[in-house]
Amino acid sequence: MSKIFQSIRAYIIPVKLSEYEVGAYTHLIEKHGGKKCVKQGESTHIFTILKSSTRISRNVESHQVPVIDIQWIRDCDKKQQLLPIETYTIITDRKKLRSSSSDHDALVPSLSLLTTSTATTSISSGSNTDILNRRFKDSPPEDLPFSDESGSTRRGEGENVDLAPGFINTKYECLRPTPYEPKYNKKLVSLLLLLERKRQIDNELKRSLSYRHAISAIKAYPREIQSSKEAEKIIGVGSKIAEKIKVFLHTGTIEEADQLRYDEEFRTISLFNKVFGVGATTARIWWELGYKTLQEVLDNAKLSTTIKLGIELLPDFDQMMSQQDVKEIIDIVTKEVVSINSECFVVPVGGYRRGKTKNGDVDLIISSKNAENMRGFLNKLTQRLIEKDYLKHKLWHSTDIKNLAHAERPSSVGGRQQFDNFEKCFCAFLQPSTGIHRQVDLICVVNPDELATAILGWTGSRQFERAIRDYAKKEKNMSLNSQAIHFEQNGKKNRFVVHSEKDAFDIIGMPYLEPEFRNC
């Protein structure tokens, strides 16, 4: 029995917590000399598992006391000491707000303050704030990603109607190697990518997906396509897309796609859509509200904190990383991980592992052969990275409730789930050499059994993951996610033991594909 919580009178917001969980937290508080109170009015701190401040506000009577992430209790217990409460504070109390800013915080800020003081562009240092003011009216057309014209110089459809020998014609992209950059049909692929994106921002998800299938197939196709008949034999290319290919073979372009390269609406919505937290719907709403640049959105729209952050970070996040940049970050994180626990290790996944030369983010899996090492690890790690000034913002992080169930097992009922679900944290990481914020996704794999499937799942590509899960389900009656492979047999779920990535391919019964060829 310690005294670290001696001066704490805690109120726990019961929402989203089971009775058992409330009991477990109460136990922790009392174990360290704190008191739990039933009435908020008598408390010095309010604890909650909720993340949304609006949601929290509904459960808080008055903001006289700070609202703290309940995780703090667990972390203090683990470390047996009072941890700095600031990073866990979700809502600061009145007194603190008073001292730092204006009197009535909840009331509307005056007009003058709104436009001028919002220029707290403290984030951008070595970044091109240019992108925030980018607008597309009368601007030069968008570049095509794979625009090597050399293949499409000779116009017109050829005679050849047969598929290229050696091409694996399947609806499952995961069964054939797909390079990141196509060798052939580059311009066609670039144009189809525009159409895919158009369907996507129009929220035509199924159509978008269809283009994705066709694009993957064509990227993997081992020669220039010579006729639309040939194209239509490719599984994933149906009558509509074949028709577009036919036009492309005759004219060297696809009207609808080429137009998009100049289209102000399309390009503006596409840009908005790059912001973390902004999907097709929000992007279009902004467009319909008349915003033409992100700066206008920033100045005038009411934004959640995540999206505001997302916009402010875009000038940095939009700058692609070389493999050297990625290595630098991997080395830093690895060093910190190992110094916390030398048995832990880092596995780079994502596009970097697939050999992409330019990457928009860094995905890192952190694990250990010993599950015990991993309990609460991500919190330790992020805290260190914050202290060392690498980690600047958490864009998103998961809450691992099952970890608690495990930690408190002695008093818990036996049949509790294993502590599966990873802890994840997507953050803005300041790269020292360039001063640019990079999106780093940290994924903590607690259970060693889950490592292989986690690596498989986080290596991607997105399309590869869809295909392999679809294949496992439809063809093998197995279900795959980033934690396990299951096989159903007379209503019983059996979990396979997956020792390695190769093992996973064997279990599913498909040929192994090196990460470089999973760029579907």
Q: Which active-site residues does the annotation give?
A: 244
- Which CB atom, from 2 or from 308, has the smaller least distance to DNA? 308
Using the rule CB under 7 A, give the single segment among 37-45, 76-84, 207-215, 220-228 that binds DNA. Answer: 207-215
- Mark 312-351 with x for binding to DNA (rule: CB under 7 A) and - for no binding: --------------------------------------x-
Of positions 426, 429, 496, 517, contacts DNA by CB under 7 A: 426
Of positions 368, 465, 485, 513, contacts DNA by CB under 7 A: 465
Q: How far is the CB of 294 from DNA (least distance, A)?
A: 13
Dihedral-angle region of residue 46 (phi above 0 means left; psi in -120 to 50 means alpha; beta otherwise): beta
Amino acid letter, 82: L
- Which CB atom, from 36 or from 199, has the smaller least distance to DNA? 199
Of positions 75, 363, 449, 501, contacts DNA by CB under 7 A: 363
Of positions 134, 207, 229, 392, contacts DNA by CB under 7 A: 207
- CA–CA distance, 41 with 176 (Å, rounded to integer): 64
Q: How far is the CB of 400 from DNA (least distance, A)?
A: 7
In angstroms, the first-to-last Cα distance of the chain is 56
- Mark 228-267 with x for binding to DNA (rule: CB under 7 A) and - for no binding: -------xxxxxxxx-------------------------
Q: How far is the CB of 486 from DNA (least distance, A)?
A: 8
Contact 479, 498 (CB under 8 A): no
Residues 6+ apart with CB under 8 A from 511: 175, 505
User: Nearest Cα to 41, choosing from 58, 62, 26?
Assistant: 62
Indicate whether 41 belongs to the interface with DNA (CB under 7 A). no
Bridge partners of residue 480, in order along the sequence: 485
Helices in 261-400 by DSSP H: which ranges?
264-272, 280-288, 294-300, 305-317, 323-340, 350-353, 377-387
Residue with tokens 């626990």: 341
Contact 329, 438 (CB under 8 A): yes
Of positions 24, 257, 269, 283, contacts DNA by CB under 7 A: 283
Of positions 316, 466, 485, 519, contacts DNA by CB under 7 A: 466
User: Nearest Cα to 384, choosing from 152, 32, 43, 87?
Assistant: 87
Of positions 94, 473, 495, 502, contacts DNA by CB under 7 A: 473
Indicate whether 87 belongs to the interface with DNA (CB under 7 A). no
Indicate whether 280 belongs to the interface with DNA (CB under 7 A). yes
- Which CB atom, from 357 or from 417, has the smaller least distance to DNA? 417
Indicate whether 15 belongs to the interface with DNA (CB under 7 A). yes
Number of chain positions touching DNA (CB under 7 A): 59
- CA–CA distance, 230 with 419 (Å, rounded to integer): 51
Of positions 270, 421, 431, 453, contacts DNA by CB under 7 A: 421
Contact 341, 357 (CB under 8 A): no
- Which CB atom, from 44 or from 398, has the smaller least distance to DNA? 398
Could you give the angle at the alpha carbon of 443 between the alpha carbons of 441 and 445, nearest 5°? 170
- Which CB atom, from 66 or from 351, has the smaller least distance to DNA? 351
Q: How far is the CB of 247 from DNA (least distance, A)?
A: 13
Asked whether the CA dihedral 486, 488, 491, 492 is positive or negative, the reply is: negative
Helices in 223-304 by DSSP H: which ranges?
228-232, 239-251, 255-260, 264-272, 280-288, 294-300
User: Nearest Cα to 509, choosing from 477, 482, 464?
Assistant: 477
Indicate whether 184 belongs to the interface with DNA (CB under 7 A). no
Using the rule CB under 7 A, give the single segment among 126-134, 150-158, 301-309, 329-337 that binds DNA. Answer: 301-309
Q: Which residues bind DNA (CB under 7 A)?
A: 15, 51-55, 58-59, 171, 199, 206-207, 209-211, 213-214, 235-242, 275-283, 304-306, 350, 361, 363, 396-400, 421, 426, 439, 441, 458, 462, 465-466, 469-470, 473, 479-481
